[in-house]
Structures are given as C-alpha cells and as structure tokens.
Amino acid sequence: MVFFDFMHYLIFKFYLGFREKGALSTAAGIIGGFQLINAMSVIMLFSLAQEQKIKIEKWVVIVLFIIFQIYTYIRYIYKEDHSIEAIEKKWLNKSYTYRKQMRVLLFIYGTISIFPVFGLALYSGSKN
C-alpha cells in the first residue's frame, strides 16, 4: 500500500497548494475513487475474457464505492501510521531519483486507470 500512500501524499500536497481546507479528505476520496475504478475495470475485463455478459448493477457500484471510501478515509484520516506526517517522513527518506520516478509512475497509473474504465464501459455497453 506504499504506492497508494505516496499517491495520497502527492494529491494532498497538490490540493494544499490551492489552500483547500479539505485537502486531506479530498485526497483520501480520490484514492478511494481510483480503487473503485480499478475494481470495476477488473470486473469488466473478467466479463470480456469469459465472454459472458455480466451486468453490473448500480447497487454493486454504490456498495463498492462506499467500501473503498470508508476504508481510505479511515486509513488516511484516523490511522497514525498512515497520517500525512508519517507518509511525508517516508517520502522524504527516499532519494530524489526514487521520488521523481514514483511521481512519473503515479501519473502513468492515474492515466492508465481512468481511460480504460470508460473505454471498457463504452465497449461493454455497445455489445449489450
């Protein structure tokens, strides 16, 4: 989960730059959103690989959304070992090269996560 910890930290720092009061909870919400779209992508890819029509009900998406949001909120807001200060300490203990590579990797992850879920949704919807 270090990957998501660092992603949470960088998103927090980004929103903090805009002096947003809720930067901490916003970052946690975005991480939960990324985890949701990853789960949905896996479900849709499984459906396509099995060549079975799997209808994803709205309630399933809502339940997954709530689960991921609650989990990330508790993890990053209430757990001391995952607080911004703890993550920042881990981040700053890494080399400059590592941090630069991690930023690039996190950007690629974000891009790869967002576009396929919409593409898969459109493709799956057009087949139905």
Domain ranges of the chain: 2-127
- Which pLDDT score is estimated for 127? 65
- Widest CA span of the chain, in angstroms? 50
- Which pLDDT score is estimated for 11? 92
Question: Considering the entire predicted model, what is its pTM?
Answer: 0.82
User: Distance (Å, rounded) from C-alpha 68 to C-alpha 32?
Assistant: 5
Rg (CA), the chain: 17
- For residue 96, is pLDDT > 70? yes
- For residue 4, is pLDDT > 60? yes
- Which pLDDT score is estimated for 76? 92
Looking at the chain, the whole-number percentage of residues with pLDDT higher than 90 is: 49
Cα 107 to Cα 38, 83, 112, 113, 114, distances in angstroms? 15, 22, 9, 10, 11
- Report the chain's mean pLDDT, rounded to a whole number: 87
Q: ∠77-103-4 over CA atoms, to 5°?
A: 30
